[in-house]
Structure 1
Amino acid sequence: MQSPPPTPTNENRVTETREQAELAHAKMNEKLVPTFKGTLQEQNVNVNSTEIPITIYTPVDVNKAKLVIFFHGGGFTVCSRKTHQTIVNMLADATKTIWISVEYRRGPEHKFPIWWEDACEVTRHILENKESYGVNSSAKVGLAGDSAGATLSASICHTLKNIDFQVQLA
Structure 2
Amino acid sequence: MPDPTSYRPKPDIAANAATSAGTDDGAGILLEQLKTPSDDDVAAITRLWISTGLIPAIRDSRKDIENCINANHGSLIVARLPSDRQIIATMMTGHDEISGWIHYLAIAEFVQSLGLGRQLVELAEDILRVSNLAEVRVTIETPEIADFYAKLGYEPITDAPQIKAHDVFQTTLMCKRLTP
Answer 1 or 2: which has greater helix percent: 1
TM interval, short-chain normalised: 0.3 to 0.5
Pick the structure with greater CA Rg.
1
Give the TM-score of the pair, scaled to structure 2: 0.39
Answer 1 or 2: which has greater strand percent: 2
Q: Relative contact order, CA 8 A, sep 6+: which one is greater?
A: 1
Give the TM-score of the pair, scaled to structure 1: 0.40
